[in-house]
Amino acid sequence: MFLDPLPAELVLHVLSFLPLSSLASIRSTSREWQEFFIAHEAVIYNKAAFFHGFTDQRTPILDIDAVKWDYSYRVVPEDELDWVELCKRRVRVRNAWKGLAPSMVSHIKMKLPRGPSIMTPYHVAVDEDRGFALVTCRERGLHLLDIDTGAILWGLRGWHVADCVGFGYSDGFFILERSEDTYEVWRLQELGPPPLELELNPNSAPDEQQLQESRWGVVGAVNTQYNYPRTVDQDMIDNLRVAFEPHALLHVPEPVSAFKFVYPTLVTSAKERAYVWDVCTGRVVEVIENLQEKTELGDAHPAPVVRPMPQLDVGNPVVIQQGVFNGVPGLLVMLQPLPQQEIEPPPTPSAELFLGPVEEVEHTDEHMFLMGRHLLKVFARAVPELRDLSGTFSPNAETTRLGGLVLEIPSFKMRFGRWRYTVRPRSGLWEDGSALVHHGLDVEERKWEPRKRNIAESFVEVHSSPNGLHLAVLLSGCRLIILPHFERLLNKKDVAGPHEREEALHNATLEIRLGSPRLGESMTMAYFWGDGGEGRIGVVTTNAIFVITLPCFPRAQTSFDKPPAIRIARVKDLMDPVCLSSVSYITLSDTGLFVNYEPRPDASGTTVDGEAIEPNATEVVDESAAANDMADGGAEKSGAEEEALRKWEEKFEESLEDLDRFWEEQAADQDGRDIILNPERPPFRPAISRLHAINFFPSLRTHD
């Protein structure tokens, strides 16, 4: 055959540049190719896995333990796995996220071994590698549950955890807000005590209240994981499947309005300052000051100052002076009371000048993002790496550099990006067995021009990609802004004045429109990584739950001559606007999307203008029942359920059709007045909240 004159090494090298779809086609062309693939199967599919970004291993024998660090237990079982099977599973997961492969909606019932389903989830964090989720509830309390069975394995009592409290989880640690100036740090029991070199600040040691709650949590975990044994011994405690123990108690110098935790760094933001903590040592390592300084880059206004912080006792407020630290000239921390600040009224929405109360915080190793209602400020971090292997901090010439404000983004711009993506009306395609409907997109190029009018939109959330390279910002009017490789934009040498900076930002930004700002509103979002540098973003609006797949953006580009290939899908069955308007959280994992979607109560609880009404129409009753039945993931739908879903989908399509009309009307309006939005939003109706998961790969774990 024609392969005989070619060395096998050369053929394998050529095949290493082909995607899996091409390999499948080549393999089926002839018997000779089939035999060649069988003889070199491990090498071929190892190279294919590397080509698609499924692994960084370059060996024919797959190291399962290494792969487990990258992927969910659902993809990597406990038994043997070869390169062919890994490629098949990763392709299935990738296609399922795009609506091209089977997936399903499931309801995770939070339950104890004795008793019915309980509690209404408010905030959710998922560790799919370990198979659990942390949930705070509207009835108080924090609960750790198995994401496959919903069984509660450990928790903190309601008197200790307030209702609707915020928390952050990352790499086996979680931060729990006890009060506006006190934060608890808990770590997984399986991690064990920290190394001796990571000495905890004595002022950040857990107090008796936290230790007592930990003892109660262990007793509760033994009861739930061993089904209420008659006697408890130390072996049971030591062999709990999962439990947390106190690590630290952080005393923040000022009341906190927003915080964000990504191990090992916690950022807490007050009105005028943001504090950066190393949670392993319980110490502040950096402070950003003058957050409310009226400043616009390129003008004469002084930029806020960012100063690095050595280890310090935060029992009292702090100020900074020049001095000597460990024999090295630098910044000296002086502990003394700060002058009392008078309470000021909230700033007016003059987004070019005022940040206002910080509502969201995001951070990477080199940047920090502080989001107000109408202004997003990006700061360069003073210390790129907060912590070395010893967990300590000492300023030196290599790690210390004064940071500062490097970018401001207002929320009221009518045009954010050069490339504008719009979900095309009536373009939804549903693949049999998928929980998603994928949609076509209309892409339009918009050249930059000076801003003439404003639109009264506000920021909802800001997230950086897990690798810290890209920025995603959600606006209230169903718009999502993507800024790939934002740091390269900040480092451009040819950007000097405000107009040049504004144009460069416009050319580097992608704008995604998910519906009309008159007929919908954004609720929340989440950002997660995919294979081969892909990004996945989940967005909830009052019309749909969207899954957006971003391509791997070339590192060298700061603007795009051609629009990057973006895919958008929506969850098919979770479409009730009333339920969507009460979603408070969405989180993504390797193979799942989790959301606290609230099915409607019985129609007898419906109210209009605060007055109860009797359900005198079968249509209303059926629609409410349909919301509950479809949320349970039932395979068969009744006629009433199909009719309810059809109405919700029609409302979604109306929002897409009104989107073009809205912007055409604004373009035709030449009076120059700002655009005031008054979006149509369903009333919030508190109900029994359920934790739902869209599973993109079935669980392989077995339970007794």
User: How much is the pLDDT for 60?
Assistant: 86
* Mean pLDDT rounded to a whole number for the chain: 79
Can you tell me the mean pLDDT for 470-479?
95
| Residue 348 exposed, middle or buried by CB count within 10 Å (0-12, 13-18, 19+) | exposed
For 216, residues 6+ apart whose C-beta sits below 8 A from its C-beta are: 156, 157
Per-residue pLDDT reduced to its tens digit, 126-151 = 998 888 999 988 778 898 998 888 88
Instruction: Tell me which H or E stretch contains 133.
Output: strand 132-137
Per-residue pLDDT reduced to its tens digit, 403-434 = 588 888 988 888 898 999 999 999 999 999 99
* Rg, C-alpha atoms of the chain: 27
| Residue 506 exposed, middle or buried by CB count within 10 Å (0-12, 13-18, 19+) | buried
Residue 339 neighbours by CB distance under 10 Å: 7
Per-residue pLDDT reduced to its tens digit, 631-672 = 554 445 667 778 888 999 999 999 999 988 887 777 777 666
Distance CA 455, CA 377 (A): 19
H helices of 358-513, in order, are 486-490, 498-508
> Would you call 413 helix, strand, or coil by DSSP?
strand
Distance CA 545, CA 581 (A): 11
User: How much is the pLDDT for 347?
Assistant: 38
User: How much is the pLDDT for 498?
Assistant: 72
User: How much is the pLDDT for 671?
Assistant: 65
What the block records as the tokens of 19 is: 């995607």
Contact 55, 79 (CB under 8 A): no
Nearest to 331 by CA among 313, 367, 314, 306: 306
Question: In the structure, what pLDDT confidence band is assigned to residue 690 with cuts at 50, 70 and 90?
Answer: confident
Question: What is the four-CA torsion angle of 348, 350, 351, 354, rounded to 10 degrees?
Answer: -60
Instruction: Tell me which H or E stretch contains 375.
Output: strand 375-380
Per-residue pLDDT reduced to its tens digit, 296-314 = 544 333 334 444 444 444 4
Judge whether residue 623 has pLDDT over 50: no
Question: In the structure, what pLDDT confidence band is assigned to residue 331 with cuts at 50, 70 and 90?
Answer: very low
Per-residue pLDDT reduced to its tens digit, 504-547 = 889 999 999 999 998 999 999 999 998 888 999 999 999 999 99
350 vs 681: which has the higher pLDDT: 681
Placement of tokens 């082909």 in the chain: 18
Per-residue pLDDT reduced to its tens digit, 35-68 = 999 999 999 999 999 998 888 888 888 888 788 7
Can you tell me the mean pLDDT for 423-451?
91
